[in-house]
Each structure stands twice: as C-alpha cells, then as structure tokens.
C-alpha cells in the first residue's frame, strides 16, 4: 500500500486567520441582538471553532456534537453516524453548526435534522471549506470560509487516520514515492 503524507500547502495559516476573523464579523452581524449556541462537530471542526468563537463578539454558548463519516483510513464517506448528540437544551435557541468541510453534505444535513427536531429557533451552518463537488451540486452552508478543489486535505483540525490535525496550515495529502 502506498503511503499518504502531507504535501502541498493549500491554505497557509495567515490566510486562514484572516478569513476566520472575517467570518466572525459576518456571523456577529448576522446575529446582532441575538444569543447563539455554537455546535462544533468533533473532531475535525474543533480547531476552526476554537479560533472562530474568539473572533465572535456576541453572547454565545458552546456545545459540542460528534459525527463519524470517515472511519479509520477511509478517504470516501460511508454514511453518517451520530456518535455524540448535542448536550445543551437548544429549544427556541438560535444554533450555528460549525464544521471543517462540506463535501457530500450528509454530515451537516444529519446534524441539522437533529437540531430542528429539538425545535431550535433557527439552525444555520458554517464550514471552513467547501469542496468543488459540493459547490457543483449546489450544496451550501450559510457561512463558508474557502472553496477548494476536490482533493483530500489535512491539518488545521483535519486528519488522515487520526494524524496531522495539529498542522497549522491546510495541506493536501500526497502519495509517498
Ligand atoms: P460530508 O458529510 O459533507 O460528505 O463530509 C464532510 C465531513 O467529511 C467533514 O466533516 C470531514 O470530517 C470529512 N471530510 C471531507 N473531506 C475531507 C478531507 O479532504 N479531509 C479530511 N480530513 N476530512 C474530510
Ligand atoms: Mg467531520
């Protein structure tokens, strides 16, 4: 089996930091005068959400939820399992789901359905990255950091086989030679 390793830097840390600050302002404007519950999706959305909420000058509560869609070494989605449902009571509250990547859309849809069933006042979505296939399929999130090509990426919270989440840049995975 060919080894897969971090390769080309797709989004350097400085560009990510600038965009995250911009997203924070955009979200703060959209929710002006409202309280918000932020629900980052573990584990990929963790680093992004940690940076984003510190750029969010509004009254907010933090929850977490976990969804599994890429078990182990798989690099294609195999359906979604809710591993950890959100914990806070979000009835009549405005909720923003925060995740790393929008690809097939299954992850966000599954989580949106749960939160709507629990009668959130509103459910919006924020992703750092949107893949080309999602863009072509007309999938969208309310707040999108970057549109990227259909390549597998790691770093800034995103993993391959649980590795590379600690890389500060978003990096493309490459085959070792
Ligand atoms: P979707 O459910 O939209 O197909 O996939 C979104 C989820 O798949 C993301 O939350 C992310 O965890 C994972 N994912 C999709 N593309 C990539 C990728 O290029 N790299 C990594 N590490 N995870 C990905
Ligand atoms: Mg994920």
**Residue list, ligand 1 pocket, CB within 6 Å:** 44, 69-70, 77, 99-107, 152-154, 158-160
Question: Which residues are bridge partners to 42 per DSSP?
Answer: 66
* CATH class as words, domain 13-71+79-153: alpha beta
Residue 23: pLDDT band (50, 70, 90) is very high
pTM value is: 0.94
Q: Are 155 and 169 in contact (CB under 8 A)?
A: yes
Cα of 12 from ligand 1 centre, angstroms: 19
What gap in Å lies between CA 148 and CA 132, rounded to an integer?
Answer: 6
Q: Are 60 and 36 in contact (CB under 8 A)?
A: yes
For the residues 79-102, what does the mean pLDDT come to?
Answer: 94
Closest-CA residue to 76 (of 160, 167, 174): 160
Counting ligands in written order, the one closest to the CA of 140 is 1
For the residues 88-98, what does the mean pLDDT come to?
Answer: 97
Residue whose CA lies nearest to ligand 1 atom number 17:
152
The atom number, within ligand 1, closest to the CA of 80 reads: 2
Residue 2: the pLDDT is 78
What gap in Å lies between CA 17 and CA 47, rounded to an integer?
Answer: 12
Distances (CA, A) of 91 to 44, 59, 98, 112, 116: 26, 17, 18, 13, 9
């Amino acid at each position: 089996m060919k080894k897969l390793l971090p390769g080309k830097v797709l989004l350097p840390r400085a560009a990510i930091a600038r965009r995250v600050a911009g997203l924070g302002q955009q979200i703060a404007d959209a929710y002006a005068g409202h309280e918000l519950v932020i629900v980052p999706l573990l584990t990929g959305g963790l680093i992004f959400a940690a940076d984003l909420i510190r750029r969010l000058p509004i009254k907010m509560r933090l929850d977490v939820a976990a969804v599994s869609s890429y078990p182990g070494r798989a690099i294609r989605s195999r359906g979604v399992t809710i591993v950890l449902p959100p914990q806070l009571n979000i009835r009549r509250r405005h909720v923003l789901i925060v995740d790393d990547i929008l690809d097939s859309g299954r992850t966000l849809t599954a989580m949106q359905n749960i939160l709507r069933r629990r009668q959130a006042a509103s459910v919006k979505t924020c992703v750092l990255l949107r893949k080309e296939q999602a863009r072509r399929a007309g999938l969208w999130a309310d707040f999108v950091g970057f549109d990227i090509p259909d390549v597998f990426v790691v770093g800034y919270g995103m993993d391959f086989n649980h590795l590379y989440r600690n890389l500060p840049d978003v990096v493309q995975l490459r085959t070792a030679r």
